[in-house]
A and B are shown apart, each in its own frame.
Chain A
Amino acid sequence: MNAQLRRTFYLFVAGFVALVGVLAYWQVYARESLANDPSNSLQSRRVQEVPRGLVLAGDGETELARSEQGENGNYSRVYPEGPVYAGVTGYWSSRYGASGIEIGQNNNLSGNGEPETLDELLNQVSGGPLAGNDIELTLDPELQRLAYDSIANSSTGRGSAVALNPKNGEILSLVSYPSFDPNNIDENFEELAQDPDNPLLNRATQGLYPPGSTFKVITAAAALEAGVQPSDRYTDNGTYETPGYTVYNYRGREYGRQTFEEAFGNSVNTIFAEIGNEDVGAEALAQTATDFGFYDPYEDFPLPIALSFFNPPPEQWDQGNIAQSSFGQQTVSSTVFEMALVAGAVANGGTLMEPRLVREVRSPDGAILDKPTPSARSEIMDEDTASSLNDLMQEAVTQVESGAQIPGVKVAGKTGTAEAPGDQLHSWFISFAPADDPEIAVAVLVENGQEGYKQALPIARRMIEGYLRSQGAISNESPSPPPAPPQNEQTTPNNQPAQPKTDQSTQPKTNDSFQFPFQGQGKSPQNPGQTPGQVPGQVPGQNQGQNPGQVPGQAPQVPGQNSGQAPGQRPPGG
């Protein structure tokens, strides 16, 4: 009988082994897919029972997000700075999911990651609370507030500003306006999603706009690499002809003989179209843009970044497309974030630093878990080329855009005025300073803010000045003349821009920008009704779309997708 007993025992052993196998299947192999099962509410319940980590600004003190325990013992999220940082913090909602840093750094903030310290391991084993880790960001609170207020008070109250330290890639401010208050997202979400101004859209990272003449920095980089010298001479007779498309200068101006340097400062579209076609070529231009970060999703960045891109793609470009690309119109779509990196790369001698938003991750008891170090993302151009480009951008400020000057500081910059429907041009400025030893690079966009110098430039200058002053790079004894307020306070953000005449009078040189002054005079306007560049970008696929709540209800169009397929469909641009 003992043989049967033994066999039966082996059968039981096999049964127990099989059970361990089943357990391992659920607890290891299928664990993640089960955790994400829509009918599994354990994660959201855990979220409410455990405090998430703090989010702090770069000063290590300003709390951007914290968890507070309610009377029922569940935690809820509080955002002391509210809308000012909403584009960075995002929101955390049990109904609408999460966005921003809340989701981008969720593993750290939730404490759900693998235990990293002995305390955490002990806590996990003993069942203690796994509080989330704290995150200190790189944002400068003063600069963020200044940028936020400036964009909010701009002529249209729609825009974005991104500032970074070009030497180490730390993002100093990241602003999108209109914004929202993440504190009461649950109550307001539906309304926000319906809002035509799309406050849930992060205009800095997700808004796609034609960069206009700010893109000439990239074209100039490609040109310098192709051997064009700043002193090379070109002649502008007011137009540049390509088959099917004619380039005009802004307001139809004719500049005559210009050096490359002058053409950059004066932002002469025709000469850039010529350089793009004859000196650089489609491939080199697109490659330079790609080196600068076009088509790069910046996957390591904690916020999702929309791809900056060309449409049609460079392989399909004809001469008209190259011309448009050379001065950043129609074919080109980019984010404000990307243009800030462009400025930063030039500032840093041609080396693009990895953009960073998280300075430090700390466990609840203060142990440093992660402290990313600055790293170079790519070497875009050699020092000489970068230095030449730096000079070009300085000259552009000293010779043309004097409004950007700050006494005692060398400022480099480039305006942009990007086409938008009607006459509602997007106002751009990218800049960095001090040009000989850059500490800050910025990109500012004001939607429909008209010429770059009118709205974006003063905001950028105030940001730079404010930041350098706080860093001690400018002494308080030599104050610059108070910057002209970009917009009067009574103008609500949604109003049509009221152009302050003072700006125009103080800014005599209006040659930067793109305009299509001769509406209807262009060759074969095939689709005059189309509106390229109108709506700030799409919400791209990498918007961590675990839940529908993150996608603003309005799906903005992709600028350029309904434009630029055929060169010459628009009236001529300059």
Chain B
Amino acid sequence: MTQRATLPMTIALLITTLGFATLIFVQEAASPPLIYGAYYAGTMIAVYLGVRLWLPHSDVLLLPIVTLLTGVGLVVIYRLTFAGAEAENLAITQAGWILAGSGILVCVVLFFRDYQKLFAYKYLLAVAAVALVASTFTPLGYEVNGARLWLRVGPATFQPSEFARIALIIFFAGYLAEKRDIWAATSRSFLGIQLPALKYFGPIALVWALSLGLLVFEKDLGSSLLFFAVPLLMLYAATGRIAYVILGTMLFAVGSFVTYLMFDHVQLRVATWLDPWSDPDDAGFQITQSVFNIADGGITGTGLGSGFSQTIPEVQTDFIFSTIASELGLLGATALLLAFLVFVYRGMKIALVADDDASKLLAFGLTAMFAMQTLIIVGGVTKAIPLTGITLPFVSYGGSSVVGNFILTGLLLVVSEKAGKRAAEDESTLYSSREKTA
């Protein structure tokens, strides 16, 4: 585990500063109050120092990545709105969400250091996850762009599925670790695939189907894909049986086909994906504009502030990657993808060195979700796969997404702390035993 990341932190903050300086001096954008920049930098530095203080053995390299991604996100959100009427608001709001997310991360670090206690409440978390997803069907929920994903509680609005995902991953990690042996060694078989007894299979299938079904009805296709893929990957990690993945994918194919037949909006999505050029002004507008802007960037990009991606609908949330590819070019976009990949790599490393199955599965599940989310949205805006509306972690504008990903990071940190601490103890034991023999 990397326990010092002062230099990467400095570089991440410098890159963010460079981005804002470019916008302010070259594009002559009105500067947002500089104090917000100080708040942001101060927050990230405080989180870094706090984590080093409270979790001295954790993999602190995650934080410079988070700083880089949120910083790039802030710069791009600011760039996309600096000409508009609500100019400073979005970037400042986002900075506020980052502050809130950091606070929650610190809470996770402080209060969930003994995260394994969470597994004791796994069924409760499963119920909570389903309830969260279902909550948008209550009068508190409301629709945005035809998808019912939002919940309004007082003045605050949030997307419950962002948090339900994490709860669900904790549930799956705890449940699969407990029943892992049973899943790995089973007697019944179906189509040559050995299946565990319904008694063990039931709870997981129930939670899975319920959350998936609800999301499909909410027309939240991106989250549906995540809720499907991540548990499947965790199942594979727990059992090592590729047959489950194949079976799951077959089920998914059938399910997708049924959804395709059932819902007009799904058919439209697929048609738009296959041929957006036939209707570039209406149904295909968003994706064709995205691809035009990405192509416009070329290898080196148009330069920050010189592209035209601000006209893509939802550009600051789902399509923020199009702006980055357009203005920073293939080089900048690839660099950002590499930053995501480094986060995934660190997450995987944490899973690898974790002590017990539940911790491994938890770290793996969180990392897999992070990776899948990135792949799905970047693949979507580049027209590699059908577009589904989810956020780019840490970069996209959106409070629930930012806070959710900070929680995810906090959990990875506490998992890494435990393994790191044990490794440090092993080392000191080894050291002292050597001393004795000497």
Contact = CB atoms under 8 A, between A and B. Distances in A.
Interface in B346-372: 348, 351-352, 357, 360-361, 364, 368, 371
**Chain B, interface SS category:** helix
Contact of A24 (B281, B292, B330, B345): B330
Interface stretch (A56-64, A119-127, A342-350, A468-476): A119-127
A138 B298 CA distance: 35
Contacts of A6: 348, 352
A39 interface: yes
Nearest to B371: A12
Contact of B305 (A31, A124, A127): A127
Contacts of B334: 20, 23
Interface stretch (B163-171, B207-215, B233-241): B233-241
Interface in A1-47: 1-6, 8-9, 12-13, 15-16, 18-20, 22-24, 26-28, 30-31, 34-35, 37, 39-40, 42, 45-46
A35 B296 contact: yes
B417 interface: no
A441 to B, nearest CB: 44
Contacts of B35: none
Contact of A46 (B233, B308, B340): B308
Given A1-B357, A39-B280, A126-B304, A18 B26 contact: no
Contacts of B423: none
Contacts of A9: 344-345, 348
Contact of B341 (A16, A22, A39, A129): A16
Interface string A127-140: 11110000000000
B340 A16 contact: yes
A46 B293 CA distance: 12
B348 A28 contact: no
Interface string B1-28: 0000000000000000000001000110
B295 A16 contact: no
B382 A19 contact: yes
B308 A127 contact: no
B298 A34 contact: no
B306 interface: yes
B126 interface: no
A42 B379 contact: no
Interface in B140-189: none
Give the most central of B299, B327, B330, B361: most A CB within 10 Å: B330
Contact of B352 (A5, A22, A40): A5
B306 A42 contact: no
Given A9-B345, A126-B303, A23 B26 contact: no
B337 interface: yes
B304 A1 contact: no
B300 interface: yes
A13 B341 contact: yes
A37 B297 CA distance: 15
Chain B, interface size category, equals 35 or more
B291 interface: yes
Contact of B360 (A5, A42, A128, A130): A5
Given A23-B333, A24-B330, A45 B308 contact: yes
Contacts of B361: 1
Contact of A42 (B233, B293, B305): B293
Contacts of B69: none
Interface residues of A, number: 39
Contacts of B297: 27
A8 B237 contact: yes
Contact of B26 (A2, A24, A126): A126
A127 B327 contact: yes
B378 interface: yes
B304 A23 contact: no
Give the most central of A1, A24, A30, A45: most B CB within 10 Å: A1
Contacts of B386: none
A39 B292 CA distance: 9
A26 B368 contact: no
A27 B330 contact: yes
Contacts of B233: 8
A13 B337 CA distance: 10
Give the most central of B281, B325, B340, B344: most A CB within 10 Å: B344
Interface in A208-229: none
Nearest to A24: B330
B134 interface: no
A4 B345 contact: no
A45 B310 CA distance: 13
Contacts of A127: 22, 26-27, 302-306, 327
A396 to B, nearest CB: 58
B411 to A, nearest CB: 17
B127 interface: no
B291 A42 contact: no
A1 B354 CA distance: 11
Give the most central of B296, B329, B379: most A CB within 10 Å: B296
A27 B360 contact: no
A26 B341 contact: no
A5 B348 contact: yes
Interface string A82-125: 00000000000000000000000000000000000000000111
B203 to A, nearest CB: 21
B384 interface: yes
B272 interface: no
Contact of B375 (A15, A30, A34, A126): A15
Given A27-B297, A31-B298, A19 B337 contact: yes
B351 A5 contact: yes
Contact of A19 (B295, B327, B364, B378): B378
A28 B299 CA distance: 7
B295 A125 contact: no
Contacts of B344: 9, 12
10 A-B pairs with least C-beta separation: A127-B303, A39-B280, A34-B295, A127-B304, A4-B237, A12-B371, A27-B330, A9-B348, A127-B305, A127-B306
Given A1-B240, A20-B334, A27-B299, 6 more contacts: A1-B357, A12-B368, A12-B371, A26-B295, A27-B329, A39-B281
Interface of B: 22, 26-27, 233, 236-238, 240, 277, 280-281, 288, 291-306, 308, 325, 327, 329-330, 333-334, 337-338, 340-341, 344-345, 348, 351-352, 357, 360-361, 364, 368, 371, 375, 378-379, 382-384
17 contacts: A1-B357, A4-B236, A5-B352, A5-B364, A9-B348, A18-B384, A23-B334, A34-B292, A37-B292, A39-B277, A40-B288, A42-B296, A45-B308, A124-B300, A128-B26, A128-B306, A130-B303
